[in-house]
Amino acid sequence: MTANEQARLKSIVETAVDGIITIDERGFIDSFNAAAEQLFGYSADEVIGHNVSILTPAPYKERHDGYLAKYVETGIKNIIGVGREVVGQRKDGSRFPMRLSVGEFWLGDQRRFTGIVHDLTKQKQAEERATQSERLAAIGQMITALTHESRNALQLSQANLEMLVCEIEELRKSCSAASSIPVAGALEHAGRIQMAQDRLQRLFNELREFAAPVSLDRESYNLQPLVGQVLNELSSLHSNKQIHLRHESNGVDLRCAVDPFRMHQVFRNILENSIAACPDPVSIDVGWSQSQLRGAPALRVALHDNGPGLTREQKQKVFEPFFTTKKTGTGLGLAITRRIVEAHGGQIVAEGNGTFGAEFVITLPRQTSAM
């Protein structure tokens, strides 16, 4: 081989994407390319002259020399010429899945082996995400069917309960004052059953919303009036509290490529939690600012209230399904909120130090590739 050919071969090996390692018959490393250095965290100088088993954890470490010795002695191939999945071990002790292909070559009268190592970490993560998505899809279909059937049963139960209440009311009108006391008790119990059914109905609705895929109908939309609209709707439901809303935009463009209906859900879930948590009067500040998200222009929306705020543990769990700080509630509202924001390509985080109110920060991309 000419010097030119040697230089060319060396260049190919050093610029290869996969790790390329050569060893002698005893398993000692005699070359280690740049990709292998990056993959295992060792420099070539640190591994050349050492047994290749330093790159694998047990039980692969113990088996490797045995495979080589058996092949050299008998010619029976166990790993030579075959690609297989094994586990690699980096310099820092961390492990990763890899595909190892071993080939044989001769350098004069000396036998050498080449190992080509391909990192399978991203592939394994993608497979795991795909499996998880399949499981979630199956769970979603089951929940959708369950909630549909349960809602039918609840509606029938509710209709019969309403008829029962009407009959009790008629009975009370026809009774004397003394005998109407048990009837009033029956009405009270019926009212409690209705409240329980309403809560169960809401749970089923939110379960269905959580399980269903998030579909978006985007348009360029000004989000500030949407926050005011949501708060007006909630104010009528919380007439026992004074609610003050203040915007701070500083001339920022408040339009984003969003689904207005879905963002209405987002703001409603956040503001409903704030109103429930805050003392009277309720104060909500909304700050709008220009931001960046994954290198592209974005709009940042920070909603801050004057409630008790969130502890560190609450901030970590607040977006988890069924986690709630309220006495009543499903704990799905903020989990659904995060799904909607992420479906828009955005991010949502909970801030606050547990003393000066809670703050939810939403960052939304200005545009999407589809618009």
Domain-located, residue 64: yes
Q: Answer yes or no: is 59 within a domain.
A: yes
Q: Tokens 């058996």: give the residue.
A: 70
Contacts of residue 77, Cβ cutoff 8 Å, sequence gap at least 6: 71
Domain boundary pick from 119, 145, 171: 119
Are 250 and 328 part of one and the same domain?
A: yes
Query: Worst-scoring range by mean pLDDT, 18-22, 295-299, 313-317?
Result: 313-317
**Domain membership flag for residue 370:** no
169 in any annotated domain = yes
Residue 258 pLDDT class (50, 70, 90 cuts): very high
Is residue 29 domain-resident? Answer: yes
How many Å apart are CA 226 and CA 230, to the nearest integer? 6
Strand order of the sheet with strand 29-32?
29-32, 19-23, 110-119, 95-107, 83-89
152, 247: one domain: no
Residue 71 shares a structural domain with residue 190? no
Mean pLDDT across 7-28: 83
pLDDT greater than 90 at residue 159 = no
Question: Does residue 359 share a domain with residue 236?
Answer: yes
If asked whether residues 50 and 101 sit together in one domain, one would say yes
Q: Can you spell out the DSSP letters for 148-167?
A: HHHHHHHHHHHHHHHHHHHH
Domain closes at, from 160, 186, 211 = 211
What b/e string do you get for 27-45 counting C-beta neighbours within 10 Å, with b at 16 or more?
bebebbbebbbebbebeee
- Is residue 85, in this structure, part of any structural domain at all? yes
Residue 158 lies in a domain: yes
Mean pLDDT value across residues 34-48 = 94
pLDDT attached to residue 370: 45
Residue 199 shares a structural domain with residue 105:
no
Q: What domain range includes position 193?
A: 124-211
With pLDDT > 70 as the criterion, what percentage of the chain qualifies?
74
48-57, 143-152, 217-226, 289-298: the lowest-pLDDT one: 143-152
Region 298-303 average pLDDT: 94
Q: What is the CATH number of the domain that holds 41?
A: 3.30.450.20
More confident residue, 69 or 257: 257
Q: Is the pLDDT of residue 199 over 70?
A: no
- Predicted TM-score (pTM) of this structure: 0.50
Non-local CB neighbours of 305 within 8 Å, separated by 6+ positions: 274, 277, 278, 282, 283, 284, 285, 357, 358, 359
In the chain, what is the straight-line distance between the N-terminal and C-terminal CA atoms, in Å? Answer: 57
CATH of the domain at 333: 3.30.565.10
SS3 at position 321:
coil
Domain count, the chain: 3
- Outline where DSSP puts E strands in the chain: 19-23, 29-32, 83-89, 95-107, 110-119, 219-222, 243-248, 255-258, 282-293, 296-305, 347-351, 359-365
Residue 138 has a pLDDT of 65
In the predicted model, is pLDDT for residue 327 greater than 70? no
